[in-house]
Structure 1
Amino acid sequence: MARMHTRRRGSSGSDKPTADDPPEWSDVDADDIESRVVELAEQGYDPSQIGMKLRDEGVTGTPVPDVKLATGKKITEILEENDARSEFPEDLYNLMERAVRLREHIQQNPQDYQNKRALQNTESKVRRLVDYYRGDEVEPDFTYSYDVAKELLDEE
């Protein structure tokens, strides 16, 4: 199947190896991992950044290859339990951030047609994601606009 906003086809990505339990070389306690996840979230890291930090730095020097295998919960579930979850899902927030940057760029460079098209594609993705998350992660009456996104990004 072709990609959404280009005519190219995507190459298939690699699959994660199937494993039922964490590797024996990473014997970090689940409670330590959860406290480290909450600590990193309070420092302002997103869930994907938290996963990479735990993979690279670990907890007390021991890397954590997979938080879900080690704790039985996803990073977002841990954040939800500890009330450290962000207001918007990470993918939606990043797309809104990109759309705001593109809009500001186009206001300064009105002849940049390539980025006008990129802005249209990005805002289209944002609207589709808002529809997907509506009710669960996003308020039912939320509608995307540049002003709303700019206001949300300025708050954080």
Structure 2
Amino acid sequence: MARMHTRRRGSSASDKPVADEPPEWSDVDEDEIESRVVELAEQGHDPSQIGMKLRDEGVKGTPVPNVKLATGKKVTEILEENDASGDLPEDLRNLMERAVRLREHMNENPQDHQNKRALQNTESKIRRLVAYYRGDELDADFTYNYNVAQELLEG
């Protein structure tokens, strides 16, 4: 598949090994995993960071290689059930943070044409994601602009 903002083709990614059940060396109770996920979310970690912490640190010293295999639910589903999910989806929040940083950089360096193009590409991705999430996870009348992004990221 081609890349979104260039004429080149992308490199293929490796696939996860097919597994139907968690490994026997990782025998952590589902309730303990879910409580640890909620605890990490309350500390301010994103779902991807939670997955990495569970993989590296685990629950009570036992690593959890895959939360979905161990509990039957994704990290985001666990957070939604416990009302611990954020106000914005993680991918949209990360793109907005990048756009705000690029806009601040452009205000200081107006002749940086390469980063001006990067800002345009990033804001284009944000608009596409907003259209995707509008109605479900965002308000039906939500529109992206720099000021809205700054307010959402500050609060």
Distance 1:6 1:55 in 2: 34
TM-score (norm 1): 0.98
Partner SS for 1:39: helix
- 1:77 & 1:94 partners in 2: Cα distance? 19
> What is the alpha-carbon distance in structure 2 between the residues aligned to residue 138 and residue 55 of structure 1?
30
Counterpart Cα distance in 1 of 2:124 and 2:66: 33
Paired residue type of 2:102? L
Task: List per-residue Cα deviations over 1:42-93 (Å, max 9, x = no partner).
Answer: 0000000000000000000000000000001000000000000000100000
Percent identity of equivalent pairs: 82
Aligned residue pairs: how many? 155
Instruction: Give the root-mean-square deviation of aligned CA atoms.
Output: 0.6
Query: In structure 2, what is the equivalent of residue 76 of structure 1?
Result: 76
Q: Specify every segment of 5 or more residues in structure 1 that has no aligned partner in the other structure, as ranges.
A: none
Q: By how many angstroms is 1:9 displaced?
A: 1.0
In the other structure, the counterpart of 2:96 is: 96
Shift of 1:27: 0.2
Could you tell me which residue of structure 2 aligns to residue 18 of structure 1? 18
Runs of 4+ with deviation above 2 angstroms: none
Partner of 1:40: 40
Which residue of structure 1 lines up, in the alignment, with residue 135 of structure 2? 135
Q: Which amino acid aligns with 1:153?
A: L
1:123-142 deviation per Cα after TM superposition (whole angstroms, max 9, x unaligned): 00000000011111111110
| Distance across 2 between alignment mates of 1:72 and 1:4 | 33
Give the structure 1 partner of residue 153 of structure 2: 153
Q: Distance in 2 between matches of 1:95 and 1:64?
A: 28
For 2:66, give the aligned amino acid: D
Counterpart CA distance in 2 for 1:136 and 1:18 is 31
TM-score calculated relative to the size of structure 2: 0.99
Partner of 2:55: 55
SS of equivalent residue, structure 1 residue 63: coil
